[in-house]
Structure 1
Amino acid sequence: MIFNIIIIGGGHSGIEACLSSSKICNKTKLISSNLENLGMLSCNPSIGGVGKSHLIKELEILGGIISEASDYSRIHSKILNFKKGESIHSLRYQIDRILYKNYILKILFIKKNILIEQNDIKNIIRFKKKILLIDKFNCIHITKNIILCAGTFINSKICIGKNIFKYGRYNEKTFYLSKSLKKINLFINKLKTGTPPRIDINHINYKKLIIQYSDYSYYFGKNFNFNNNIKCFVTNTNLKLHNFIKKKIKSTSLYIGNISSLGPRYCPSIEDKIYKFLSKNNHQIFLEPEGFYSKEIYLNGLSTSLSLNNQKKIIKKIKGLEKSLIIRFAYNIEYDYFDPRCLNITLNIKFANNIFLCGQINGSTGYEEAAVQGFVAGVNAARKSINLLLWKPKKWNSYIGVLINDLINIGISEPYRIFTSKSKFRLFLRMDNSLYRLTNLGFLIGTITKFKFKFYNNYIYNTYNNLLDFLKYNLKKNFNIYKNIIIMSKYYGYIKKYLFKF
């Protein structure tokens, strides 16, 4: 059987690619090395942040799944930059890992035109207009297009102190596809990332910690989650801890040369923080629960590659964690990525246009950036397989366009992270007007249904009419002046241009 699309990898980019492509064409196949880990949150149990929540909101309007899953599974929520301008208002959710993964699995297995297979691909061969994929059993899979979203699993290694393991995630084997892709003349280099330790929730002195409560606002809409009340906590490092790490710095994989590549600037390891910010005597550490019934607390801000014994010691030196026990140890991971400047804006390779790359293999970092790329690659691979025009995201109407244009035009020297400051149109690209900006686009590319499109447009139309009614009854004398202002505003323009009647 010849498939229209085969997706390799079941992370955030793979799931979005799979679901978006299945809405446009049939014969879609997802290959993952472990089906139990589909939709798994590899690192932080959170979705959103500055810039990142704008991407999630845009995906929600275009028909992505990550926003639905995070709404369903959130246990704590914060509004960031609320005292500043609307253009940088952002959301950040803490989510339950198990609920999130189960929601993703349910959606994937319900879809009839998606075939899911547990397998490992060893080799990729281009043959005429088709692609042959050879798996670990030497079986051949034939497809018109492939979407490669293998995350940190390509030729990767995990480092804990002086120990090195050939894993893409702890206890999960790496892929060896670099040789196949070198034949296509792709430039391959290394990046690194890391994850902090997880500690037992029952051995923490909460009296010494600062409590963070959830925020409640109109931003969370009708899908109000009454379980959105789990507390997070904040503590700080101290000089005693900093001096200890300086003494043990030679035992870290970064400083003994096991890892030489650059990591994310905005999520550095604790060793980097101490040396880059010498004047600071403390750094914040956020204690984030991993779920309703989980025993694990995620220590955001304490990423490290120290040895296991040293990790146990540094935990004991933090206020409130003196008696804490580590459940999962921290580690750093180094992996292959491909220079994204070899890609078109549609995320297929310029000189091999039936191979699409998305996610961390393009040099990005974070769930949100990966999900967005997966969505774009899925839409374009599906449209290409049925001979439709490909979608080229624009910088002026979405942060999705900003992200992809930055990757393919500027390239990267470190893991790429989206920020609102990266767009010169950021006053226009707000979270609260995503519906008005992208409803029509989602329908045109084929990822939202006719019913959903009419529902969104009815909402826009009602918003406009309600505003006019308010002015009519409350500002009778100056109604015509205000009406003219509204007609010249964003609402009327979108309604007049994009509201279709079916």
Structure 2
Amino acid sequence: MFSTEYDVIVVGGGHAGGEAAAAAANMGAHTLLITMSLQNIAQMSCNPAMGGIAKGQIVREIDALGGYSGIVTDETAIQFKMLNKSKGPAMWSPRAQSDRMRFAETWRNMLEQTKNVDFFQDMVKGLLFEGDKIVGVKTSLGIEIKSKTVILTAGTFLNGLIHIGNKTFGGGRAGESASIGITEDLVKVGFESGRMKTGTPPRVDGRSLDYSKMIEQPGDENPEKFSYLSLTKPLEKQRSCYMSYTSLEVHDLLRTGFDRSPMFNGRIQSIGPRYCPSIEDKIDRFATKERHQIFVEPEGWNTVEVYVNGFSTSLPEDVQDKALRKVAGFENVKFFRYGYAIEYDFFPPTQLTHTLETKLIKNLYFAGQINGTTGYEEAAAQGLMAGINAALNVQNRAPFILKRNEAYIGVLIDDLITKGTEEPYRMFTSRAEYRTLLRQDNADLRLTPMAFEIGLASKERMDRVIEKQEKTDLFVKYLIETSVTPKVINPILEENNTAKISQSMKMFKIAARPQLDFHDIQKIPSVANFILENNIDNEIIEQTEVHVKYAGYIEKEKNQADKLNRLENVSIPSNFDYTKVKSLSIEARQKLTKIKPITISQASRISGVSPSDISVLLVYMGR
């Protein structure tokens, strides 16, 4: 089986590994996915959900590029919500609860049906180098497998340590062993490594809960979906989630275990995720708050297992038990498993290029939690990009890099390799300076043409994008060119408490009014006829409405992006010696030498590099 050399070896079968293997294989690369457990491919180790604030945009972008995460989520969803609908469209973020077991099963089935993917269950214990290149991997069985490129997506498994109270044991996930050997091989050749931690809440028996004491959280009345493809359908039935609250009594009980909490007694020194804190972190950091939300999330259609979101903890099991029983609805709770914290190795991502290839070793790529990120969506996005670039590398084609004004994925990777991360990084809409351009509704228009060009997105995807763009343009043109009379529109305007008109006006101007939405515009008979005659669906209507109402903001952001992109065209030679530029600040010289930015624009985003430093560099580059 291993007598021939692979194009791409993917180490790890999580969300990053799955997307990496699928992308590389679909681009024609002979790919091997090595994982410690073929039963747990793309397992939802933490919460049974995909998407959320900014994360939902990432899943849409993965789908637009030809990845699998959106399709799998749609196939296995049990609830769908569009978050932040009361805000502007830049903030709308899709989120779905998934059937956890079906999610992993569907992922494996899709990978098995993907040409060019081979599978092998074993632990990778070593990496094979020749000079400054990687040439393969060595498994725990002593098998050496050669490859032109290797993508490491080891998740929380690298020297993983699980903590519950005073108990500590090796593991990458509950019930699964840690991975050893990879970190040691990387450190030997000069990589800098660090430790991070994350946690997970208890899982409990839903039959032991009293839902009448909780607040029901149903899905959207008219649920949407993640994938732009027509092969998945919106949900026809959904399962509700529920919400409860902690109390001062719960907090007092939790505090009784702080001296045995590894995060408070100093046994865990590594840094945890700021935006997904443990329950002990919450009551310590926000001591004045009398209560915190607890979200009760079912793990699937048919299982009784429930995920207790908001109660992430590594406290001793007796403390978890006593405290959770004081939460409304949990009085008779039965645990399936206790919450725990996990420590693992990561490698500061400033050691990578924009393709996610390492600067130190050629043809070696890192994706997912190994880069200091947290979240399925961030991991999947990195895996996709690493898989694409490894395949392009093997095929001697130009790399595929997304800019900050093109995708949240571009923001994610640029942040990681330019700024690094001191704590597990997660994506937010606030991290993207061009979020009006990077909406969840237009990811296909932004990215599918690029993916089609490199051979990843299918013709079916491209045809749908062309149709969507043409129909949106047609609808916008119709609104710009067509007038409406006061007699027709004034009753609608009056109904929505906005000023009536005294003479005919172009519908584009009327539709742009913030008091009206397109449900109101469709009440105009001529508009309703136009929609019917041209077979315009809800997706086109939403796209047109965003364009009409936010045209000014979109144009302004495009202009800003164009200005900054001019600096992207000012490249810096890879061997540029910053130590000779005495006009640069000492900090700038140090940071620029370490990170080696490839353009002036990237250099300007490095923490510690000032505008005056950028001016000096522009002079040196002849600008």
Coarse TM-score class (shorter-chain normalised): over 0.9
- 2:82–2:93 CA contact under 8 A, matched in 1: yes
Query: Which AA in structure 2 matches 1:315?
Result: L
| Distance in 1, Cα, partners of 2:330 & 2:508 | 61
Within a 5 Å distance, the mapping from 1:253-402 to structure 2 comes to 253-402=262-411
Residue by residue over 1:28-74, the C-alpha shift from the partner in whole angstroms, topping out at 9 and shown as x without a partner, is 11000110011211110010111101111111111110011111111
Partner of 1:98: 101
Match of 1:498 in 2: none
Q: Which has the higher contact order (CA 8 A, sep 6+)?
A: 1
After TM superposition, give the deviation of residue 446 of structure 1 in Å: 2.0
Cross-structure match for 2:79: 76
Aligned pair partner of 1:192 in 168, 192, 197: 197
Q: Which residue of 1 aligns with 2:50?
A: 47
Q: Within 2, Cα distance between the matches of 1:199 and 1:309?
A: 15
Shift of 1:318: 0.8
- From the superposition, tell whether residues 450 and 167 of structure 1 become closer, same or farther in structure 2 (CA, over 3 Å): same
Alignment partner, residue 455 of structure 1? 464
2:82 is paired with a residue of what secondary structure? Answer: strand
Once residues 355 and 469 of structure 1 are traced to their aligned partners in structure 2, the CA distance between those partners, rounded to angstroms, is 52
Determine if contact 1:153/1:335 at 8 Å carries over to the other structure.
Answer: yes
Amino acid in the other structure paired with 1:271: E
Whole-Å separation in 1 of the counterparts to 2:142 and 2:300: 40
2:432 is matched with 423
Q: Give the AA of the match of 1:365.
A: T
The alpha carbon displacement at 1:248 in A equals 1.8
SS of corresponding position for 2:297: strand
The aligned amino acid for 1:204 is L
Decide whether the 8 Å contact of 1:264 with 1:365 is kept in 2: yes
Q: 2:149 aligns with which of 145, 152, 156?
A: 145
Tell me the distance in 2 between the aligned counterparts of 1:218 and 1:329. 33
**CA apart distance, 1:391:** 1.0
Q: 1:212 aligns to what?
A: 217
Residue 228 of structure 1 deviates from its aligned partner by 4.0
The reply to whether residue 38 of structure 1 matches residue 38 of structure 2 is: no
Structure 2 match to 1:407: 416
The alpha-carbon distance between structure 1 residues 331 and 475, as it changes in their structure 2 partners (threshold 3 A), is same
Q: Is the 8 A contact 1:74 1:225 kept in 2?
A: no
Q: 1:333 and 1:295 mapped to 2: Cα distance?
A: 25
CA contact (8 A) 2:80 2:224 kept: no
- Unmatched 5+ residue regions in structure 2? 486-503, 513-546, 559-623
Q: CA–CA distance in 2 between the matches of 1:450 and 1:211?
A: 42
Deviation at 1:469, TM superposition (A): 4.1
Partner in structure 2 of residue 115 of structure 1: 118
What's the offset of the Cα at 1:217? Answer: 4.1
Give the Cα–Cα distance (whole angstroms) in 1 for the partners of residues 188 and 399 of structure 2: 26
Q: Which has the larger radius of gyration?
A: 2
In the superposition, the TM-score normalised over structure 1's length comes to 0.93
Cα gap change, 1:39 to 1:227, in 2 (>3 Å): farther
Q: Distance in 2 between matches of 1:437 and 1:324?
A: 47
What is the CA deviation profile of residues 122-147 of structure 1, one whole-angstrom value per residue up to 9, with x for unaligned ones? Answer: 11021255513111111110011000
Kept in 2, the 8 Å contact 1:130–1:142? The answer is no
Change (3 A) 1:391 1:226: closer
1:173 matched to which residue of 2? 177
Q: Residue 394 of structure 2 aligns to which amino acid in structure 1?
A: S
Q: Which moved more, 1:393-402 or 1:455-464?
A: 455-464
| Equivalent position SS for 2:34 | strand
Contact kept, 8 Å, 1:204 with 1:324, in 2: the verdict is yes
1:6 aligns with 2:9: yes
Q: Matched residue of 2:363: which SS? A: strand
Deviates more, 1:140-149 or 1:252-261: 252-261
C-alpha offsets along residues 204-232 of structure 1, whole Å, 9 cap, x if unaligned?
A: 11111011111134744874444542011
SS class of match (1:99): helix
In the alignment, residue 86 of structure 2 is paired with which amino acid? K
Give the Cα–Cα distance (whole angstroms) in 2 for the partners of residues 296 and 219 of structure 1.
26
- Distance, in Å, in 1 between the alignment partners of 2:21 and 2:478 is 44
User: d(CA) in 2 for partners of 1:257 and 1:38?
Assistant: 34
Instruction: Say which SS state the counterpart of residue 432 (structure 1) adopts.
Output: helix
Structure 2: distance between partners of 1:452 and 1:80: 26
Any idea what the Cα deviations from partners look like across 1:277-313, whole Å, max 9, x if unmatched?
0110100000000001111110000011111122111
Measured in 2, the distance between the counterparts of 1:381 and 1:37 equals: 24
Structure 1 position 200, deviation (Å): 0.6
> What is the distance in 1 between the residues matched to 2:388 and 2:113?
20
**Per the alignment, in what secondary structure is the counterpart of residue 93 of structure 1?**
strand
CA deviation vs aligned residue, 1:382-418 (integer Å, no higher than 9, x gap): 0000100111221011100000000000000100010
Superposed CA offset, 1:238-267 (max 9, x none): 011111111221111212222111111111
- Conserved in 2, the CA contact under 8 Å of 1:121 and 1:135? yes
2:562 paired residue number: none
Q: Percent identical across equivalent pairs?
A: 36
Aligned length: 491
RMSD (Å) for aligned C-alpha atoms: 2.2
Does the 8 Å contact 1:402/1:422 carry over to 2?
yes
1:458-501 per-residue CA deviation (whole Å, 9 max, x = no partner) reads 2211222244346656649666987xx9899989xx9xxxxxxx
Corresponding letter in the other structure for 1:182:
V
Matched, 1:201 2:229: no
Determine if contact 1:8/1:148 at 8 Å carries over to the other structure. Answer: yes
Equivalent AA in structure 2 for residue 232 of structure 1: C
Q: Any conservation in 2 of the 1:76–1:93 contact (CA below 8 Å)? A: yes
1:164 to 168, 171, 175: 168
Distance 1:480 1:194, change over 3 A: closer
CA distance in 2, matches of 1:275, 1:424: 33
Residues 1:18 and 2:21 are matched in the alignment: yes
Q: Give the partner amino acid of 2:23.
A: S
Structure 1: gaps (5+ residues): 495-502
Residue deviations 1:351-375, cap 9 Å, x none? Answer: 2121000000100000000000000
